[in-house]
Amino acid sequence: MSREVVDNAELRSGTEKKHPQQLLGSAPALLNSPWAAKGPLRKHQLQEHLQMLKKIKFFNAFGIFSRFSPSPGVQEAALGHKEWTQCPADCTAFCTHPAAEKFPRGVGIKSTPVTIVLPDTKGKSFLFNIIDTPGHVNFSDEVTAGLRISDGVVLFIDAAEGVMLNTERLIKHAVQERLAVTVCINKIDRLILELKLPPTDAYYKLRHIVDEVNGLISMYSTDENLVLSPLLGNVCFSSSQYSICFTLGSFAKIYADTYGDINYQEFAKRLWGDIYFNPKTPGTAAQGSDGVTIVGLVVLQVVGDVDTTLPRTLDELGIHLTKEELKLNIRPLLRLVCKKFFGEFTGFVDMCVQHIPSPKVGAKTKIEHTYTGGVDSDLGEAMSECDPDGPLMCHTTKMYSTDDGVQFHAFGRVLSGTIHAGQPVKVLGENYTLEDEEDSQICTVGRLWISVARYHIEVNRVPAGNWVLIEGVDQPIVKTATVTEPRGNEEAQIFRPLKFNTTSVIKIAVEPVNPSELPKMLDGLRKVNKSYPSLTTKVEESGEHVILGTGELYLDCVMHDLRKMYSEIDIKVADPVVTFCETVVETSSLKCFAETPNKKNKITMIAEPLEKGLAEDIENEVVQITWNRKKLGEFFQTKYDWDLLAARSIWAFGPDATGPNILVDDTLPSEVDKSLLGSVKDSIVQGFQWGTREGPLCDELIRNVKFKILDAVIAQEPLHRGGGQIIPTARRVVYSAFLMATPRLMEPYYFVEVQAPADCVSAVYTVLARRRGHVTQDAPIPGSPLYTIKAFIPAIDSFGFETDLRTHTQGQAFSLSVFHHWQIVPGDPLDKSIVIRPLEPQPAPHLAREFMIKTRRRKGLSEDVSISKFFDDPMLLELAKQDVVLNYPM
């Protein structure tokens, strides 16, 4: 739903006032829900939003990120409660969150963008673009999409649980994206109400969290100035449940307003550290105790004995309640008292304004990190200046479907120029290049909206620096896109596609219950692929449709949307499986060669394992194939001790520019005509990348393998060395070299973090051992009765792990799991002596064979690898001469 704005150009410039009715037009009610409909954005607030759109230096764009918990959604709701003043306090989270399925699951599923005007401590208003992202580790793709368009991060950490698995991942991701990092330690009420910590212990608990976060930042960042401290103002404290949020500065201001005659700025510096607070002489301090515990003392006095101490405490604080308010239940009463004492969230606003750069200030860093073109071009300078009058450049990172699931609105950030409703634009896809413009399309922008959670404000134009929802450009967009002007901006290049910090390894196959409804399911798959950033859909050779996701909860949400929103049909789902990788553990026992069909060309290769850690460096872009030969050679010489010739002879990574395999030209000029070999380089690289994309064992990705070209006989005539001859031949020799190097399967492993009471730790060990898991660490959480158990578990054995864990611990254990690494499966997948018996668990040495056979069956392939498919007749004769025995059927 939306509000129409007839013309907001004058409103933004502030030169003319329009009657609110002109702004509202004839739009229908903003919200369908009854209580949300009572409290839409007020008319004067709508004008505030529109007037501030163009004041780039007066607004911030940042993301709210946390571990698995609905609290950030509540925090976002609390921030927006002034906008929805007629919503009941307990319902504000519903009013501000668009995904209705969040509430029965108790976890956020989709990121929620909110544009809101908030005042700081001095009463100055700022326009905030906030995106509240899911905290569950399965939905880290939503976090990635939010980080890309943000200037900074507000990381919410549970005060009782401290730094957890997802907290560390979020910090690492934010540092990699070069974003400003701030922290909000949330749920401080738990320290008093649940853990029953005395004020001094509560302070040490909070200080431990800050120190731990700084340790993680120093681990991943080279910026020595990136330090978090409440004294610097980039750490705040909050309780979403009781509408509390403050920094040391804002708390000192409240204290000064209550007691008077105190320099609150100087007082704030004494609220953190080993300094006593003396209640008899409020203006003095001494060594030993901690000023931050003032809040603990206030809350503890209010909560500890409500009947006897509350009236006296309220009198001391100057808070006056009516008789009706005093009769409220404990939670509403405490929420009311805290709201009256702490007031608005001005401390939070101060923190964001001071430590998160405005879009104009942060634009250059953002462009340098995300734009594939030159920053020193005219277009790059316009984006670096965040120029609203420059050429249009908009980066969309997320697609939001309409309520009926028919269309999508592209959500992104305008980095240069101004986007107008009804404007023709050119949409550049992720595969667009200046040389190949196939992945581009001219579209006409429909309506434009500013997102305010459950409802949208319709506008006519959005200038640079702002977030926007765009109608009418969704058809050519799959994941992300670059929106620019159709003419006069030919040098525009794309923004880098999102790089996720996890891998989709869980796979399910789907088919409609009614085969005639297959077109509806295919349309639904296309839509759900747009809705989830890291989701992958594909069709196997057997014809089955496969969905790949990050975890069970993720795929459960995908299937809910596919069935209920996008296809509205009954769909059958196969048992979940995982993706595998193929690798080698030795060097090829023979030089493998293959001839082209016309017998005019011959390529010889061997395969060998890559050095440990090299595949991860390629995937994390620590090394890039686009570097010049000298820089690339120095990297491999220095870090992996390659010889100079090999280091400067790297042709490609595979199966793509960040693929975990390497193709090396190891031929000598004295033996091979380098000019002829160079003329077919592109074809050989294509064959290499094709082969590494679909390995010979079970059509899975090849990983951690170096392929060396040892010899090449290339025809003199160009007609005889075309791509049709070279590409399939290069693929065959890749396969034969791979099969001669002791091939093995690799399976994905999850890193699991379990929180449980001390008496449940043994049960956690038992559950992990049954699933081939092993514990790496278990330790108590400081200031908490819980233990943290860290472990690894094979992804294929992780299905139902969380349910099993809760059953064995009577629901007291909570776990999070995320993809961590690939590990070789025990056993030889090509050992034909192994007999796989149905419905029986296989011993460890038989697992590789079992996984390969079952995967090949599922994909419609023959049970074993056929030797004739990958070895030429001359190669087979060579094998016979060498008395090489292969375990492959003909």
- DSSP, residue by residue, 420-479: ETT-EEEEE-TT--SS---SEEEEE---EEEEETTEEEEESEEETT-EEEESS--TT-SS
CA distances 319 to 78, 111, 255, 281, 828, Å, are 21, 38, 13, 21, 74
Q: How many domains does the chain have?
A: 3
| Most confident range, picked from 334-338, 632-636, 748-752 | 748-752
pLDDT value of position 20: 30
Q: What are 332's two structure tokens?
A: 């509403």
Using an 8 Å Cβ cutoff, are 310 and 327 in contact? no
| 605 and 515 part of one domain | no
Percentage, residues of the chain above pLDDT 70: 83
Same domain, 803 and 697: no
Question: What are 698's two structure tokens?
Answer: 């079970």
CA atoms within 13 A on the CB side of 818: 22
Asked whether residue 516 carries a pLDDT value surpassing 90, the answer given is yes
Assess whether 590 and 737 both reside in one domain.
yes
| Rg (alpha carbons) of the chain, rounded to whole number | 30
The reply to whether 707 and 752 lie within a common domain is no
pLDDT in the model for residue 46: 52
Which residue shows structure tokens 């101004």? 418
Does residue 642 lie within any of the structural domains?
A: yes
| Nearest Cα residue to 580 out of 294, 298, 854 | 854
Residue 798 pLDDT exceeds 90: yes
Q: Which of 338-342, 376-380, 696-700, 845-849 has the lowest mean pLDDT?
A: 338-342
Q: Quick one: pLDDT band at residue 305, thresholds 50, 70, 90?
A: very low
Question: For all residues of the chain together, what is the average pLDDT?
Answer: 83
Domain boundary among 711, 741, 771: 741
Residue 485 belongs to some domain of the structure: no
Per-residue pLDDT tens digits for 552-592: 999 999 999 999 999 999 999 999 999 999 999 999 988 99
Residue 816 lies in a domain: yes
| Separation between Cα atoms, residue 405 and residue 528, nearest integer Å | 10
Which pLDDT does position 400 carry in this prediction? Answer: 93
Residue 569 falls within a domain, yes or no?
Answer: yes
pTM of the model: 0.84
On whether both 680 and 707 belong to a single domain, the answer is yes
CATH for 777: 3.30.70.240
For 835, counting Cβ atoms within 10 Å of its Cβ (0-12 exposed, 13-18 middle, 19+ buried), the class is: exposed
Domain boundary among 552, 575, 598: 575
Q: Is it the case that residue 429 has pLDDT exceeding 80?
A: yes
What is residue 678's three-state secondary structure?
helix
> To which H or E segment does residue 594 belong?
strand 592-595
Q: Residue 35 pLDDT more than 60?
A: no
Judge whether 270 lies within some domain: no
pLDDT band at 844 (very low <50, low <70, confident <90, very high): confident
Pairing mode of beta strands 701-702, 418-420: unpaired
Q: How far apart are CA 314 and CA 533, in angstroms?
A: 50
pLDDT of 413 higher than 50:
yes
Residue 804 lies in a domain: yes
Any idea what the CATH number is for the domain that residue 532 is in?
Answer: 3.30.70.870
Give pLDDT, residue 436: 86
pLDDT attached to residue 273 = 77
Question: So what's the pLDDT on residue 84?
Answer: 46
Look at 88-92, 105-109, 463-467 and tell me which has the smallest mean pLDDT.
Answer: 88-92
Measured distance CA(169)–CA(173) in Å, rounded: 6
With pLDDT > 90 as the criterion, what percentage of the chain qualifies? Answer: 52
Last residue of a domain, one of 556, 575, 594: 575
Task: Give the residue numbers spanning the domain of 730.
Answer: 582-741
Nearest CA-CA partner of 178 in 153, 201, 204: 153
pLDDT level of residue 267 (50, 70, 90 thresholds): confident
Number of alpha carbons in the 13 Å side-chain half-sphere of residue 854: 20
DSSP, collapsed to helix, strand or coil, labels residue 506 as strand
The region of weakest confidence among 339-343, 408-412, 517-521, 650-654 is 339-343
pLDDT of residue 650: 94
Do 703 and 775 fall within a single domain? no
Residues 669, 707, single domain; the answer is yes
**What pLDDT band is residue 61 in, cutting at 50, 70 and 90?**
low
Q: Is the pLDDT of residue 21 over 60?
A: no
Higher pLDDT, 373 or 876: 373
Asked whether residue 597 falls in the same domain as residue 554, the answer is no
Residue 279 pLDDT grade (very low, low, confident, very high; cuts 50, 70, 90)? low
Listed residue (334, 852, 781) closest to 583, CA to CA: 852
344-382 core/surface letters (b: 16 or more CB in 10 A; e: else): bbbbbbbbbbebbbbbbebbbbbbeebbebeeeeebbbb
Task: Clarify whether residues 731 and 753 are in a common domain.
Answer: no
Whether residue 593 lies inside any domain: the answer is yes
**Quick one: average pLDDT of 757-777?**
94
602 in the same domain as 689: yes
Q: Which of 26-35, 59-68, 258-267, 835-844 has the highest mean pLDDT?
A: 835-844
**733 and 763 co-located in one domain:** no
List CB contacts of 455: < 8 A, sequence separation 6 or more. 1, 2, 3, 30, 31, 36, 40, 41
Backbone angles phi, psi at 108, to 5 degrees: -70, 145
pLDDT per position as a tens digit, 605-636:
999 999 999 999 999 889 999 898 889 999 99
- The two tokens of residue 889 are 């059927």
What's residue 769's pLDDT? 93
Residue 88 preceded by cis peptide, ω within 30: no
Residues 736 and 760 in one domain: no
SS (H, E, C) 357-422: CCHHHHHHHHHHHHECCCCCCHHHHHHHCCCCCCCCEEEEEEEEECCCCCCEEEEEEEEECEEECC
Question: What are the structure tokens assigned to 666, written together?
Answer: 């190891």
